[in-house]
Amino acid sequence: MTTTEACAPADALLSTRNLNVSYPGQGWRAPRTEVLHDVSLDIRPGETLGLVGESGSGKTTIGRAILGLAPVASGTVSFDGERIDHAGRARRRQLSRDIQVIFQDPYTSLNPSRTVGDTLAEPLLGHGAGTKEARLRVGDLLARVRLPADAAARLPREFSGGQRQRVAIARALALRPRLIICDEPVSARTAPPQRGRASARQCGTATAGAVTRRGMPDRRLWKAVGLFGLGFSVFGAYE
Ligand SMILES: Nc1ncnc2c1ncn2[C@@H]1O[C@H](COP(=O)(O)OP(=O)(O)OP(=O)(O)O)[C@@H](O)[C@H]1O
Ligand SMILES: [Mg+2]
């Protein structure tokens, strides 16, 4: 995946510049596989950026590079003006409050042996909330993604795939992050959690959506990226 752009705007929440990611080749002296070549993008507060591309073109890798989970060979990732492409573990942990992720597969991203309430409370308690405050907030989060309040006492296996994905969305919203990276977040969803999305906007969140043609989150995004044509690695922003 390749893009080019000169300099980052001052008001960008997230920027990448000339980002290059390559993975080691398989076998003795095998050349590295370059996945991202000079990728530059910007997301301002309140903006949504969709990435569309063929399978294997590097959409997930961009998200992983932003999260510090992919090997950045060169280039920069900046969040709120701070370089984070080589942030250490302690800084990454702090950043996890501001940068959240929703993965495609709710089966693997939720702990099967923890109740939904515990899953949602964990980040809150880990970032200093009291037990009572966390319980209230869990109820609020469940309502936002249109799950019943008694969902807190149930295990992930007691929900449909779409409901589980809403739990994952609620978890991502729990700490009121400033940026959410969504990797095909709606492919397992039953009904659109409109309020969840609205909430993300209300708290000034920018959403980076990594989606394929099959996993379009809604018509507006489709319209924006559709202008650039199908089958290519393109970026489309709206709002
Ligand atoms: N850990 C890894 N080691 C080696 N190669 C990898 C690794 N992760 C991804 N790749 C390669 O990087 C390329 C981009 O993968 P990526 O998962 O970013 O694609 P994608 O655009 O998200 O695809 P999809 O639409 O299928 O999810 C692929 O060719 C893939 O094989
Ligand atoms: Mg992917």
Res 185 pLDDT > 70: no
What residue's CA is closest to ligand 1, atom 28? 56
Which residue did the predictor score with more confidence, 16 or 8? Answer: 16
Range scoring the smallest mean pLDDT among 93-102, 119-128, 205-214: 205-214
Query: Which atom of ligand 1 is the closest one to the Cα of 104?
Result: 27
* AA letter at 219: R
Please report which helix (H) or strand (E) contains residue 167, including its range: helix 161-173
What residue's CA is closest to ligand 1, atom 27? 55
Neighbours of 27 (CB within 10 A): 6
Query: What local confidence, expressed as pLDDT, does residue 104 receive?
Result: 67
* pLDDT (tens digit per residue) in 89-101: 999 999 988 888 8
Query: Which atom of ligand 1 is the closest one to the Cα of 51?
Result: 21
Q: What mean pLDDT is reported for the chain?
A: 76
Query: Which atom of ligand 1 is the closest one to the Cα of 212?
Result: 25
Residues with CB under 5 A from ligand 2 (ion): 59-60
Banded model confidence at residue 208, pLDDT cuts 50, 70, 90? low
Q: Of 200, 201, 192, which Cα lies nearest the Cα of 171?
A: 200
Domains of the chain: residue spans and CATH: 14-109+177-238 (3.40.50.300)
Q: Residue 98: which residues within 8 A CB-CB, separation 6 or more?
A: 79, 80, 175, 177, 178, 179
Q: Is 22 in the pocket of ligand 1 (CB under 6 A)?
A: no
> What pTM, to 2 d.p., does this model score?
0.77
- Do the beta carbons of residue 79 and residue 14 sit within 8 Å? yes
Banded model confidence at residue 236, pLDDT cuts 50, 70, 90? very low
Which residue did the predictor score with more confidence, 187 or 124? Answer: 124
Which residue did the predictor score with more confidence, 143 or 196? Answer: 143
Q: Is 35 in the pocket of ligand 1 (CB under 6 A)?
A: yes
| Pocket-testing residue among 59, 183, 230, ligand 1, by greatest number of atoms within 8 A of Cβ | 59
Q: Is 200 in the pocket of ligand 1 (CB under 6 A)?
A: no
Query: Which atom of ligand 1 is the closest one to the Cα of 64?
Result: 18
Query: What local confidence, expressed as pLDDT, does residue 135 receive?
Result: 94
* pLDDT (tens digit per residue) in 138-160: 999 998 888 998 999 999 999 98
Q: Residue 94: which residues within 8 A CB-CB, separation 6 or more?
A: none
